[in-house]
Amino acid sequence: RQQYVGKLKFASLEASQGSKKLVVATEKNVVAALNSRSGDILWRHVDKGTPEGVIDAMLIHGQDAITVSNAGRILRSWETNIGGLNWETSLDAGSFQAAGLVGLQDVVKYVAVLKKAALSLLYLSNGHQKWAEHLPENEGMQYQMLYSHGTGVIHVIGIVPQSHLNILTFNVEDGEITKQSRVAAPWLKTLNGACSVVGEAVLVCVDTDSHSLYVCSLETEQEMKQIPLQSLDLEFADGFQPRILATQPHVVGASRTQFFLQLSPSHFSLLQYKHGLLSHLRDFQQAALVSFATTGEKTVAAVLTCRSELKPGSAEGVHVGSALEESRKQESLTCSNQTYNINLYLVETGQRLLDTTITFTLEQSGTKPQQLYIQVFLKKDDSVGYRALVQTEDHMLMFLQQPGKVVWSREESLAEVVCLEMVDLPLTGAQAELEGEFGKKADGLLGMFLKRLSSQLILLQAWTAHLWKMFYDARKPRSQIKNEINIDNLARDEFNLQKMMVMVTASGKLFGIESGSGTILWKQYLRDVRPGSSFKLMVQRTTAHFPHPPQCTLLIKDKETKTSFLYVFNPIFGKRSQVAPPVLKRPVLQTLLLPIMDQDYAKVLLLIDDEYKVTAFPATKNVIRQLREIAHSIFFYIVDAELGKLSGFRLKKDLSTEESWEVMIPPEVQRIVSVKGKRSNEHVHSQGRVMGDRSVLYKSLNPNLLAVVTESTDTHHERTFIGIYLIDGVTGRIIHSSVQKKAKGPVHIVHSENWVVYQYWNTKARRNEFTVLELYEGTEQYNATAFSSLDRPILPQVLQQSYIFPSAISAMEATITERGITSRHLLIGLPSGAILSLPKALLDPRRPEVPTEQSREENLIPYSPDVQIHAERFINYNQTVSRMRGIYTAPSGLESTCLVVAYGLDIYQTRVYPSKQFDVLKDDYDYVLISSVLFGLVFATMITKRLAQVKLLNRAWR
Amino acid sequence: LFIMYMAGNTISIFPAMMVCMMAWRPLQALMSLSATLKALESSSRRALQGLVFLVGNGLGLALALYKCQAMGLLPTRPSDWLAFVAPPQRMEFTGGGLIL
């Protein structure tokens, strides 16, 4: 199991050298503390994944972390050392605007929460409300900012866009409005970003149109003072909304008078506004990120810049010079050589602090830093030391120490795995040699014999080397022997139990993870993937075809621009493959991986675009020829959930398609939520079930069957329903349809073999229910040798039963094994994070209500409506998987064993044995006893044989 | 025979052993047919006696087989061959799903 927190939204580092914590709140609605030495999670709290759990703000004061979540409704205070909840209060509804700590006479006592129409002040220690005041309403007035600096008043700044500002001053003690002033600001649209408070409650705003800063004191002045920026030689970039970044080192103290003005995405300048004068301290061009940090009396600004190749000889001023060069060379922020510098500058003067450069290189091409947090501390000699937390675009967290050492890094994009495949590991060199021998062409008897001898020799060599290593390792203490897994010694184990998990995350980063230990062996960031793209991962060639490298293909489709492209890579090493994927001109609607292979053993991938034309990949002549031959047997189905249309297409010889069927499901009444086909790698060993009277009930194993789930658009609990349609994907024939009244989604569905299991919420009885459908052909098989959807005169019999399940579920999947002999289990992810392994035999529609002789002969369990959750059926014990989104199953080399990966916020991998380990000797199998008995018996036979001979001889003499 | 009847059609160790014995005895007797015939050499109606012996043993064997059948030990039903039925070959390939 590996635990993740997700992409950072807020982070806070403690400003002392000895501190080990790092409190973060993330976009995954998680509040957590990380150990800053190792990057491990100290504690973690996972809120709801829905918008109700969204964390709006986080404030840190001492040992308390205050979070505001659910659009300002819930205020929680956490104890940061152990992660306990100090208190929790709920606030009135109203859209959340800002939160801030309020102090009075050097003590921080209150939390102020600004809502759209109200300001409330709560005690920091226990969460009780001190007062809540309604803000004077005005048409178009939006209160957006909150400021206090320990003088006993709170300033609330509201804005009427393009008209004026309203500044309210509240007394902390009783919430009385002591002052209300109106400042005209016709140029201002919003406060967020454009304005900030510096110094002793001085509001500074920036205006692009007039190229000037506006300054206004919150306490005294009634008018905004305009300061043109031309006097400072500062120019705004076109089309960029400038931002002001200021810092308030301590809640009870005033803000710093210095602030950053962001002029363009990569241009910052440090300005100072003091005693009514604006001065320019330093200019930072080509800076990616800036951040303030304070320790004691010193406040420093950290600037992250890109570093390009240094020119020899220009030692002094390297930083600025190179940055200037860089800005001329490229407009975007991405660095050519992925090396970045972090420098510290003293804010008072803008001077660079010596020996404070961190240089680090990002290993992934095309990523850029997104967020920067600095932890500054004073060293013993009063110089400033610091550590930096950098989050890059691919959601990787890096914790850096001087000088440029990466203390730890976390791959937080793994908190959002989108799709996942498991690929066999490659064979070892010796095994591959052996395989290769059989793969080569035969060249005479003697040659073959010699080759065999040589490969056996190699095997012997490998074996002796292995023995020698074992002997060598045995002398070392046990703790030192650690099976380090790296990309070089990757090899398949005897039973193929360890595989490579190829994970695609929502941020567009690909990972190759070794399933046995969970070590990340490779990662690859796809730069041009925008958030919200849809992915489809396919394994085109497995590792079984030795000289050819395995090949995976990822189809990425952008949701907005509808463009799609293919990314072909080697799943073992993560390298981009040499094979050039076809350029996709039209948006791809769907894909189909055919079992036919080209001469390089790569399976053929067909892509159907929005003009219903088909592109084949790889598109060699051989493939096209094969495709022509079998074109009549290739069909597509495309489901358009918006129009409620299911349509089937037939492939023609010239790789165009024609529509063969269409099913409309009126989208006004019900909408399609999911379509499930069967897994292509699924084997079913048994073609039927033996009945009590020894006849056979044949399963209806239609590989083209689709299960379509619809939900009603009407969500009233009396009228809501879900619909299940079983549709043949080739002919469009509706084999079964049922409507479950008074049932509500979300529906989880598993479709495998000849059964479909789905789960829904019964609104009438207010409980979760399972329904299982099984399809049987009857006691006679129509055509035992070939299955064709076009030739099926008889509809299968559908058996159905429902069960009550005591819990909601978050994910569901069926186990799968190599040959399909092992009985199937359903793996059910519960919201508690546990994974329940439920035997499919419990969800069998043939369970009789009244057990008879025959049903007992069949081992059918008498029907009981409720399925219980037994804690011993949890396969992950206490290793809960938070917010599980999916379960992936893959067969292993052993028939009894199925590999399971559950993913969500955490990733958990294990093996399950649905029918126990029938093909493996038990752990307690007594090898010594058995072999000694065997040897003893052989020995005894030999002795008795000899004795008998002697006896015979003696008798003959007599 | 009565014991056989009493033993019923359930499969457990004792009836199974008994059925085995029942089948094995006539088989053994048939194996030693030549020896029996030799013993009957003195008799005048050797052929008839031999035939009766043969028929008798054959009957015993048939009875044992019937018993086996009744106990369900003979693989005569399709369900007994189910594990060897090959999965039907699929004729069409389909693929697709919700629009990406």
The phi, psi pair for B13, rounded to 5°, reads -65, -45
pLDDT of res. A233 = 65
Handedness of CA A483, A488, A489, A493 (dihedral sign): positive
Residue B47: which domain range? 13-76
In a domain? residue B60: yes
In a domain? residue B29: yes
Reference A534, options A563, A513, A575; nearest CA is A563
B79 to chain A, any CB pair closer than 8 A? The answer is yes
Instruction: Kindly report the nearest CA distance between residue A671 and chain B, in angstroms.
Output: 12
Q: Are strands A696-699 and A41-46 parallel, antiparallel or unpaired?
A: unpaired
In a domain? residue B88: no
Concatenated DSSP letters of A601-621: SPEEEEEEETT-BEEEES--H
In a domain? residue B8: no
pLDDT of res. A11 = 60
Residues A251, A231: contact at Cβ < 8 Å? no
- How much is the CA Rg of chain B, to the nearest whole Å? 25
Structural domains in chain B (count): 1
> How far apart, in Å, do the first and last CA atoms of chain B sit?
73
pLDDT of res. A807 = 86
How far CA A39 is from CA of A52, A75, A338, in Å, comes to 28, 27, 23
Burial of A148 (0-12, 13-18, 19+ CB in 10 A): buried
pLDDT of res. A481 = 46
B-chain residues near A557 (CB < 8 A) = 100
Per-residue pLDDT tens for B6-30? 556 666 677 777 777 777 877 887 7
Q: Chunk chain A into consecutive blocks of 10 residues (it has 958) and report each block's average pLDDT, rounded to whole numbers.
A: 60 57 79 79 79 77 78 80 81 72 69 78 81 74 76 78 78 77 74 74 76 75 71 65 72 72 75 75 73 69 64 32 35 54 74 72 66 72 74 78 76 82 75 59 69 79 80 62 58 78 84 80 78 80 77 82 82 79 79 80 83 81 83 84 85 83 85 85 80 81 86 82 87 87 86 89 88 86 77 84 88 86 88 87 85 80 86 82 86 85 84 81 82 94 94 90
Reference A283, options A327, A225, A334, A338; nearest CA is A327
List the beta bridge partners of residue A151: A104
In a domain? residue B18: yes
Quick check: A672 and B98 CB within 8 A?
yes
Per-residue pLDDT tens for A426-477? 776 656 666 655 555 556 677 777 877 887 887 788 788 878 877 776 666 5
In a domain? residue B38: yes
Instruction: Kindly report the nearest CA distance between residue B51 and chain A, in angstroms.
Output: 38
Where do runs of H (alpha helix) occur along A364-444?
A: 429-439
Q: Strand order of the sheet with strand A74-79?
A: A55-61, A64-69, A74-79, A85-90
Concatenated DSSP letters of A11-69: EEE-SSTT--EEEEEETTSEEEEEETTT--EEEEEE--SSGGG-EEEEEEETTEEEEEE
Instruction: Kindly report the nearest CA distance between residue A666 and chain B, in angstroms.
Output: 16
A 10 A CB-CB count for A234 gives 18
Report d(CA A797, CA A699) in Å as an integer: 9
In a domain? residue B92: no
Per-residue pLDDT tens for A359-388? 777 766 556 777 777 777 777 666 777 777
Quick check: B94 and A677 CB within 8 A?
yes
A-chain residues near B100 (CB < 8 A) = 534, 536, 555, 557, 564, 588-590
Quick check: B94 and A675 CB within 8 A?
no
- Closest residue on chain A to B74 (Cα): A694
How far CA A311 is from CA of A12, A187, A385, A910, in Å, comes to 37, 45, 28, 53
Q: Which among B72, B82, B95 has CB closest to A591?
A: B95
Strand blocks (E) in A148-251: 153-160, 164-171, 177-184, 195-198, 202-207, 212-217, 225-228, 243-246
For residue B52, pLDDT beyond 70 = yes
Report d(CA A43, CA A31) in Å as an integer: 8
How far CA B93 is from CA of A401, A598, A620, A650, in Å, comes to 56, 17, 20, 10
The phi, psi pair for A234, rounded to 5°, reads -115, 135
pLDDT of res. A573 = 81
In a domain? residue B61: yes
Report d(CA A38, CA A397) in Å as an integer: 12
Tokens of A659: 């529509």
Amino acid at A300: V
pLDDT of res. A953 = 92
For residue A309, give the 3-state DSSP assignment: coil
Tokens of A266: 């990569």
